Amino acid sequence: MSNVIRMILVRISLGIGLLFIVSLVIFSATELLPGDLATQLLGQSATPETVAALRAQLGLNDPAPLRYWNWLTGALTGDFGIALSNGRPISDLIGTRLGNTVFLALYAAALSVPISLVLGILAALWRNSFFDRIANAGALTAISFPEFFVAYILVLWLAQTGIFPSMVRINPTTDFGDRLYMTFLPALTLTLVVTAHMMRMTRAAIINLMASPYIEMARLKGLSPLRIVLRHALPNALAPIINVIALNLAYLITGVVVVEVVFVYPGLGQLMVDAVSNRDIAVVQAVALIFAAAYVALNLIADVLSTITNPRLMHRR
Amino acid sequence: MEFAASVIFGLTALFAIAWVLRASARSSLSGNARSLANDIPLTAAFGLLVIAIYAIVAISAPAIAPFPEREIVGGQFQAWSGAHPLGTDRIGRDMLSRLIYGARNTVGIAFATTTLAFVVGAILGIWAALTGGWLDQVLSRFVDALMAIPALIFSLLLLTIFGTSVLSLILVIAAVDATRVFRLARAVAQGVVVMDYIEAAKLRGEGAWFLIRREILPNSMAPLVAEFGLRFCFVFLAISSLSFLGLGIKPPTADWGSMVRDNATLITFGDVTPLLPAGCIALLTVAVNFVVDWQLHRASGLKG
């Protein structure tokens, strides 16, 4: 068992190293600016005094490594500094929005993972049948659609008739049931977008395994197709499926940005888009760091889980 | 429902035309083109037809469009009528004309971006595979670091820094996607550079640029062409999403993403007009995907 723990520790430290590099990239993005950040933010007509004041406020007079260190240690303790556009602490802006975004992503995951696994297994079971063809064509089409297209089609069909609200007005006091009801459309949009991909990969992973000799053996023993898939193919297909699920959850992170804007959902994505149009680099960096950290973490979890579920990788010689 | 029916009818008609064209190509062509026409599945024929229609509309936009791109020609949000087949937008510009010009702007910009990403990514990738050593290590690790950040988030970060103009949009998306192209081009080229003919060309004393251009590129074309199609879809969707978010191509330039954003309020009143530009985006992406699927199938040598 110590082998596993060592493997997990190595992966986690690699992940932390990667995250460190990512934070360096995000931070040094501002250093790429041709000229001075303060002048860029204030425009050409700014007086030297205001530029100097902004430089002092942003701490631009410190050398870059020191600024990076301050920014990183601040971020680790939850202090991301002050928003350039309205002077409020960024941690206040992020606070409840982070929870909202996580809620939406988990909601979409709770819907999409079971649906795509069932659809993928069924498509593999009834390969080349009518159901399989329809599911595949539907999946390819859904992958090709922009998220906002899917979102607005749902609005047109489901919100127009008054079944679900087209705008999400939630606040910290909204109870869980109302929350589920009000965020149903954004969650459904995300579900449709990621289900297609997950379903295709699940189907491919299982079909791949169905060609192996031990499945042939199980079939010759006279087992039912469902039992072959669930007992024999699925455990061995777990590693690729876990990878696909994690990748798609990571994809949800970027997917939420567009969907949050469509449904006016008070989440991190909306905050980031607003910050980009205000060119509020401090907020953008903070949100980008959170998104990137979640992305790295999900990939790390996928890596560890798929190793644990695969005995060949676990006991490598 | 009536609208959904007409969409289904339109798509069926396109499929029928594609089928007829394929049938006539099979009977009239000969030689290589004939075997290509025999091989093509209906979905790919449909994809090629749609791409051709988009190209024609984009090139001849000023001739087809009934009104100029940016001119206000009527009241706000007019309904569909004889004078304005698809009504007017938020400030009274003709929707149909803007849709037609959008083919030129949105698709044109996406195509330019993909090409740029491809040239940069492919050349660097092949160069890294050919040279190996520290250059390969530095470029690859740099690309790895950039790819650890989700593409949309990284684009948003770069757009904050360089501002949201069309030029910076093209450069930012091209830079982000060039990292993905680099990965593929390097992987493909690594399989080619170990071949004997590369060794022979090196012994002849050919330079790196000649090797890339005349030896490696022609021999890694098939996967790169398929990747170009896929990459175009990603770039096209990314640019549309950013324009939809108000951070990409901006009005008055007619663009499908920002047209959806501009007129989105109509959707809550049950009007499908704002969905049309989004549908145009979706149709082109599906068409390109169909063609790429066929190409990948051909390249992999699978039959049936």
Cβ–Cβ gap A149/B150 under 8 Å:
no
Provide, as residue numbers in chain B, all residues whose Cβ is less than 8 Å from the Cβ of A281. 160-161
pTM of the full structure:
0.86
Is residue A49 very low, low, confident or very high in pLDDT (cuts 50, 70, 90)? Answer: confident
Given CB atoms, is B66 within the 8 Å cutoff of chain A?
no
Do residues B286 and B233 make contact, with C-beta atoms less than 8 angstroms apart?
no
Please calculate the CA angle A163-A111-A289 and round it to the nearest 5 degrees.
105
Predicted pLDDT at A228: 85
- One-letter amino acid identity for A314? M
pLDDT surpassing 60 at residue A317: no
Provide, as residue numbers in chain B, all residues whose Cβ is less than 8 Å from the Cβ of A21. 145, 148
Nearest Cα of chain B lies from the Cα of A1 at a distance, in angstroms, of 30
Cβ–Cβ gap B275/A284 under 8 Å:
no
Cβ–Cβ gap B286/A155 under 8 Å:
no
Mean pLDDT of A183-203: 86
Residue of B nearest to A153 (CA): B275
Provide, as residue numbers in chain B, all residues whose Cβ is less than 8 Å from the Cβ of A285. 157
Predicted pLDDT at A1: 57
B240-266 pLDDT tens trace = 999 998 888 887 888 888 888 888 888
Cβ–Cβ gap A295/B150 under 8 Å:
yes
Comparing CA positions, the residue from B196, B102, B187, B87 lying closest to residue B136 is B187
Predicted pLDDT at A35: 61
pLDDT surpassing 50 at residue B303: no
Chain B interface mutation, best of A16, A36, A101, A156, highest count of B Cβ atoms under 10 Å: A156
More confident residue, A157 or B180: B180
Provide, as residue numbers in chain A, all residues whose Cβ is less than 8 Å from the Cβ of B51. none
Nearest Cα of chain B lies from the Cα of A276 at a distance, in angstroms, of 5
- The burial class, CB within 10 Å (0-12 / 13-18 / 19+), for B235 is buried
Is residue B304 very low, low, confident or very high in pLDDT (cuts 50, 70, 90)? Answer: very low
Predicted pLDDT at B206: 87
Q: For chain A, give the percent of residues with pLDDT over 70.
A: 92
Cβ–Cβ gap B161/A285 under 8 Å:
no
Cβ–Cβ gap A279/B264 under 8 Å:
no
Predicted pLDDT at A33: 64
Given CB atoms, is B237 within the 8 Å cutoff of chain A?
yes
Provide, as residue numbers in chain B, all residues whose Cβ is less than 8 Å from the Cβ of A277. 164, 246-247
More confident residue, A63 or B100: B100
| Residues contacting A105, CB < 8 A, separation 6+ | A190, A249, A252, A253, A256
Nearest Cα of chain B lies from the Cα of A160 at a distance, in angstroms, of 6
Rounded Cα distance between A141 and A163, Å, is 26
**Partner residue facing A253 (CB), from B150, B241, B268:** B150
Handedness of CA B19, B20, B23, B25 (dihedral sign): negative
pLDDT surpassing 70 at residue B295: yes
Provide, as residue numbers in chain B, all residues whose Cβ is less than 8 Å from the Cβ of A153. 275
Interchain CB contacts (distance < 8 Å): A and B: 131
**Partner residue facing A146 (CB), from B150, B241, B268:** B241
Mean pLDDT of A234-240: 80
Mean of the per-residue pLDDT values for chain B?
85
Provide, as residue numbers in chain A, all residues whose Cβ is less than 8 Å from the Cβ of B264. 152, 262
Rounded Cα distance between A141 and A153, Å, is 14
Cβ–Cβ gap A145/B282 under 8 Å:
yes
Mean of the per-residue pLDDT values for chain A?
81
3-class SS string, A129-169: CHHHHHHHHHHHHHHHCCHHHHHHHHHHHHHCCCCCCCCCC
Given CB atoms, is B161 within the 8 Å cutoff of chain A?
yes
Is residue B1 very low, low, confident or very high in pLDDT (cuts 50, 70, 90)? Answer: low
Q: For chain A, give the percent of residues with pLDDT over 90.
A: 0
Predicted pLDDT at B182: 93
Rounded Cα distance between A181 and B152, Å, is 28
**Partner residue facing B164 (CB), from A29, A159, A277:** A277
Given CB atoms, is B135 within the 8 Å cutoff of chain A?
no
pLDDT surpassing 90 at residue B110: yes
Predicted pLDDT at B300: 65
Residue of A nearest to B156 (CA): A276
Predicted pLDDT at A313: 67
Predicted pLDDT at A34: 60
B134-148 pLDDT tens trace = 888 899 888 888 888
The complex scores an ipTM of: 0.83
More confident residue, A71 or B174: B174
B39-67 pLDDT tens trace = 788 888 899 999 999 999 988 888 887 88
Residue B72: phi, psi to the nearest 5?
Answer: -85, 115
Do residues A186 and A259 make contact, with C-beta atoms less than 8 angstroms apart?
yes
| Residues contacting A182, CB < 8 A, separation 6+ | A164, A165, A168, A169, A170, A174
B217-229 pLDDT tens trace = 888 887 888 889 8
pLDDT surpassing 80 at residue A269: yes
Rounded to 10 degrees, the C-alpha dihedral B188/B180/B109/B42 comes to: 60
Given CB atoms, is A280 within the 8 Å cutoff of chain B?
yes
Is residue B117 very low, low, confident or very high in pLDDT (cuts 50, 70, 90)? Answer: very high
Given CB atoms, is B138 within the 8 Å cutoff of chain A?
no
Mean pLDDT of B278-302: 82
The span from the first CA to the last CA of chain A, in angstroms, equals: 15
A112-146 pLDDT tens trace = 888 988 888 888 888 778 888 888 878 877 778 88
Nearest Cα of chain A lies from the Cα of B68 at a distance, in angstroms, of 26
Provide, as residue numbers in chain A, all residues whose Cβ is less than 8 Å from the Cβ of B237. 146
3-class SS string, A45-87: CCCHHHHHHHHHHHCCCCCHHHHHHHHHHHHHCCCCCECCCCC
Is residue B181 very low, low, confident or very high in pLDDT (cuts 50, 70, 90)? Answer: very high
Mean pLDDT of A305-314: 75
